[in-house]
């Protein structure tokens, strides 16, 4: 890394809002309709940006993620800039992990009151990022596409704008409940498989 780039990276890290504070900041701004209102949602959104079909400029994905204006990138010392500076390291970390040691990728899930893993906020954040470029994501969102299954472990936990299950009401039965309870375990492998699926397309478009 060049001294100049290292200096810029260090400055950004120094300006970053602590994650606990970032989550509180997101929650008090819920009326602004940011793509994320919690750290798991933010984490899922960023993972989709890293593993998705197209490279997107930071302005185009961070602004809707945090519900901020592009001008916030130009003014250090503000809460908005501190939030931006907190997001960038997680993006770089996910990118580094998926590029070098994908088996170590771990989505930021929390647990429900009964102790079960709650993948819903993370998955909802991931899905929100796909909606930035729906035409690019269209092949995997198409249920008739053989590769649609790559998104299923995530879409199973998502809801539409009316709060309804994105894939329709789940069928009843103990096997279905057990399947849904454990589907989150397939998410890390699915994210890496999507990254591999999109890689030839993403880098061909970037040329």
Q: For residue range 66-123, what is the model confidence (pLDDT) as tens digits?
A: 999 999 999 999 999 999 999 999 999 999 999 999 999 999 999 999 998 999 999 9
Beta strands in 1-127 (DSSP E): 110-111, 117-118
pLDDT of residue 10: 46
**Of the candidates 103, 102, 104, 67, the residue with the CA atom closest to the CA atom of residue 87:** 67
pLDDT of residue 205: 64
pLDDT of residue 118: 95
pLDDT of residue 182: 79
Among the listed ranges 11-15, 33-37, 45-49, which one has the minimum average pLDDT value? 11-15
Token pair listed for 145: 């596409």
Q: Are 140 and 194 in contact (CB under 8 A)?
A: yes
| Structural domain boundaries in the chain | 3-206
**Of the candidates 105, 110, 88, 86, the residue with the CA atom closest to the CA atom of residue 25:** 86
Q: How confident is the model at residue 15 (pLDDT cuts 50, 70, 90)?
A: confident
Q: For residue range 115-173, what is the model confidence (pLDDT) as tens digits?
A: 989 999 999 999 999 999 999 999 999 999 999 999 999 999 999 988 898 888 766 66
Residue 192 has pLDDT above 70, yes or no: yes
pLDDT of residue 178: 67
Give percent of the chain with pLDDT exceeding 90.
Answer: 74
Mean pLDDT computed over 38-56? 97
């Amino acid at each position: 890394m060049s001294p100049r780039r290292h200096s810029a990276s260090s400055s950004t890290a120094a300006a970053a809002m602590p994650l606990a504070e970032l989550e509180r900041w997101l929650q008090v701004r819920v009326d602004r309709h940011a793509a994320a209102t919690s750290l798991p949602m933010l984490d899922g959104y960023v993972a989709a940006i890293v593993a998705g079909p197209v490279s997107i400029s930071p302005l185009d994905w961070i602004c809707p993620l945090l519900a901020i204006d592009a001008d916030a990138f130009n003014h250090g010392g503000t809460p908005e800039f501190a939030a931006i500076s907190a997001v960038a390291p997680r993006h770089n970390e996910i990118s580094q992990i998926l590029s070098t040691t994908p088996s170590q990728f771990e989505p930021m899930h929390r647990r429900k009151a009964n102790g079960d893993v709650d993948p819903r906020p993370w998955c909802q954040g991931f899905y929100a990022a796909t909606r930035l470029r729906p035409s690019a994501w269209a092949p995997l969102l198409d249920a008739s596409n053989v590769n649609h299954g790559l998104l299923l472990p995530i879409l199973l936990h998502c809801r539409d704008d009316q709060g309804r299950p994105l894939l329709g009401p789940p069928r009843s039965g103990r096997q279905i409940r057990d399947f849904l309870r454990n589907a989150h375990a397939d998410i890390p492998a699915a994210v890496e498989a999507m990254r591999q699926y999109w890689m030839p397309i993403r880098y061909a478009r970037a040329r």
